[in-house]
Structure 1
Amino acid sequence: MIGAPATRFPRGLSPDEAAAFWLVQMDAGRLEGRLAAEFEQWLGIAPRHGEAFKRARETWNLFEGVGDEPSVAAIRHGALAAEPEHRSSGWKFVGAGAAATILGLMALATAILPAWRERLPVFVPAVRYERSDFATARGELREIELVDGSRITLNTDSAVRVAYSADRRLIAMLRGQALFEVAKNRRWPFVVEAGGRQITALGTVFDVRLEPDRVQVILAEGKVLVDSLKEHQEAGTAVAPVLLTPGEELIARKGRAAVTTKIDVERQLRWREGFAEFEEVPLATAVEEMNRYSTTPLVVDREAGELKVSGIFRTGSPHRFAAIVAELLPVRVRSLPEGSIQIVRGAPAGK
């Protein structure tokens, strides 16, 4: 753990100095409450703030990943000795030595990283490398344990690509939904890429759902930072990074600022137990969700689709779902010749 307890964000810092301050607080586990709110506000002020923080984080992780390699140890010593001038008295009490190290490494990295990166794998155990694709069929759930102890639970009709390397644990969401339980290792970032966004975990449990027009991130434990992929940053289409805290859901659409709300995480993650829970949602929305889990499709007409439904339903059981809905709502249910189940507005026969 680096740094010392901080009570406030010191003003008057350059983006790189401020990024170093925030990295110190995050590494020390202090980025919560009012300080977390200030961090989010700082990130949203200008794109260059997010860029500075990402640069600081990546540099620190890379340099920490090589252990006691002598040349890097010398660089660390030089960086600590090159502490910058402090522009406010508060800056002296927020882990200035650690922040100075980060700033020094950022300055030195430009010159040494190209050659140093080629040597990096020598200092990383071979067991850390993994390149695999994992997928589920419609209606299937699958739990995967990775080489570092992290776990992925894949929901129905989902796929991920795992590409562990020397400097990060990278997961690419190809389709669908997955819950990630990340083994903590701050020297080896765990990054999930989905729909133009990257989610960096800090010892965390979180859920990612990829759809054609959006990405949903739900945080159950720990913290994650959600920002744009590098290609979007270089193209000038990046959006401000967002730091999530437990109980928050982020919805991100391409080219738009993300929307963050507080949610009932337990309800949202019932899919792990084979259930879907709805509370006063349109029947059409519930049908769309239930269809993710079965090859027997439910179809609903417009009038029935506008009715609201609540309850906990077993996924993968469309006939049972339709029967329960017929008991709760003024609808009729029938099986169609092609195999689908139709739900239409109207009182069931015999009522």
Structure 2
Amino acid sequence: MAEALDWLILEDDMDAATRARFDAWLAASEGNARAYQRVRDAWQSPLLPVAAARLERKRGQAMVQPLRRQHRFWKPVATAAALVLAIGIVVQGDLLTRLRADHLTAVGERQKVQLADGSNVLLNTNTAFSSRVDDQQRVARLYRGEAFFDVAHDRSRPFEVEAGPVQVTVRGTAFAVRYLGNEAEVSVQRGEVDLRTRLDDARVSLGAGDSIRVGPQGFGERQHGTEAESQLAWVKGRMVFENCPMSQVLAELRRYYPGWIVNTNERLDNVSVTGNWRLDDPLGVARSLAQITSAELHEYPKLLILN
């Protein structure tokens, strides 16, 4: 991919000898050809003008000495290409999800959706969701992220939610579904829900206060009480932990912070954390975590480092 990016940057200004070397590289393997096509697709991404404009602003702020014309031109272009290449690969990998989803939330964003049958859905951070509600069916699909459903009661049309390895069926209740990686989790606030694994058709029913995880190996252990309450805290805009290892807390916090959170001290991973914080202030949560664990927090634009 790095070689393909180099060739892309040179493409418009190749002399005959450079063109011959490029053609030889392209023909050397199918992997080279695929890499080059992928780089070209990323280069044509609509995110390119955004990346280039951002880099140009930073270059203008940082440049204090004149550079040669060639360096002034190629350095920001090469950097923009590398940035867009990285973004483009992620976008391409996520393209199918984006095409399928009716609603998408950004990192740290929550969104309320009302369906045609009167059911209400609250989408959590970085969530992709679609639904189809008509006279015959009520079906929702959670492609990633987390959603809370307050379902309008209808005896004739059950409400179904598909999320990775699990299918949830209800007629009128309130519950949340979380789907991250290859694991789903269902937490019930009110009423009853029926769950079915899509792999082996195993079935479980949950009541109010219950939660359960579903992975590639099937159902996990049913939880009741404080565990389920913690899983539903985000609905009220809170992040709640009780005696959770720091590594788990940081993994959850990263879902809401629009940047990177890095822990450079492995000893912090197993420190037990209890707390109740606001979701809309992830920086404040990180500062609080640093204080209660006696860690140092270094803050940079879009980057927090704990040590």
TM-score > 0.5, shorter chain as reference: yes
Say yes or no: does 1:251 pair with 2:209: no
User: Is the contact between residue 257 and residue 283 of structure 2 (CA under 8 Å) also seen in structure 1?
Assistant: no
CA–CA distance in 1 between the matches of 2:218 and 2:113? 32
Q: Which amino acid aligns with 1:248?
A: D
Structure 1 residue 239, shift from structure 2 partner = 4.0
Structure 1 residue 299, shift from structure 2 partner = 1.4
Say yes or no: does 1:189 pair with 2:158: yes
Aligned partner of 2:245 among 271, 282, 298:
282
Partner of residue 341, structure 1: 304
Question: What TM-score do the two structures reach when normalised by structure 2?
Answer: 0.63
CA–CA distance in 1 between the matches of 2:160 and 2:302? 41
Matched-pair identity in % = 29
Structure 1 residue 132, shift from structure 2 partner = 7.3
Q: Deviations over 1:140-197 (max 9, x none)?
A: 1111111111000000010111112443200011110000000000101100011132
Partner of residue 270, structure 2: 306
Structure 1 residue 139, shift from structure 2 partner = 0.7
User: Is the contact between residue 239 and residue 255 of structure 1 (CA under 8 Å) also seen in structure 2?
Assistant: no
Structure 1 residue 259, shift from structure 2 partner = 2.6
CA–CA distance in 2 between the matches of 1:192 and 1:335? 40
Q: Deviations over 1:94-130 (max 9, x none)?
A: xxxxxxxxxxxxxxxxxxxxxxxxxxxxxxxxxxxxx
Partner of residue 49, structure 2: none
- RMSD over aligned CA atoms reads 1.9
Matches within 5 A, 1:174-323: 174-229=143-198, 232=199, 238-264=200-226, 265-300=228-263, 301-323=265-287
User: Is the contact between residue 165 and residue 183 of structure 2 (CA under 8 Å) also seen in structure 1?
Assistant: no
User: Is the contact between residue 290 and residue 316 of structure 1 (CA under 8 Å) also seen in structure 2?
Assistant: no
Q: Secondary structure at the match of 1:289?
A: helix
Q: Secondary structure at the match of 2:255?
A: helix
Partner of residue 133, structure 2: 164
The higher relative CO (CA closer than 8 Å, separation ≥ 6) is in 1
Matches within 5 A, 1:76-87: none
CA–CA distance in 2 between the matches of 1:132 and 1:188? 22
Q: Deviations over 1:264-306 (max 9, x none)?
A: 2433222123220111111111111011112132211311122
Structure 1 residue 322, shift from structure 2 partner = 2.4
Q: 1:257 to 1:279 in 2, by over 3 A?
A: closer
CA–CA distance in 1 between the matches of 2:101 and 2:125? 19
Q: Deviations over 1:32-87 (max 9, x none)?
A: xxxxxxxxxxxxxxxxxxxxxxxxxxxxxxxxxxxxxxxxxxxxxxxxxxxxxxxx
Question: What TM-score do the two structures reach when normalised by structure 1?
Answer: 0.56
CA–CA distance in 2 between the matches of 1:242 and 1:158? 25
Partner of residue 118, structure 2: 149
Partner of residue 137, structure 1: 106
Q: Which amino acid aligns with 2:193?
A: V
Partner of residue 52, structure 1: none
Structure 1 residue 330, shift from structure 2 partner = 2.3
Q: Gaps spanning 5+ residues in structure 2: where?
A: 1-99
CA–CA distance in 1 between the matches of 2:120 and 2:245? 34
Q: Which amino acid aligns with 1:161?
A: S
Q: 1:172 to 1:339 in 2, by over 3 A?
A: closer
CA–CA distance in 2 between the matches of 1:155 and 1:306? 27
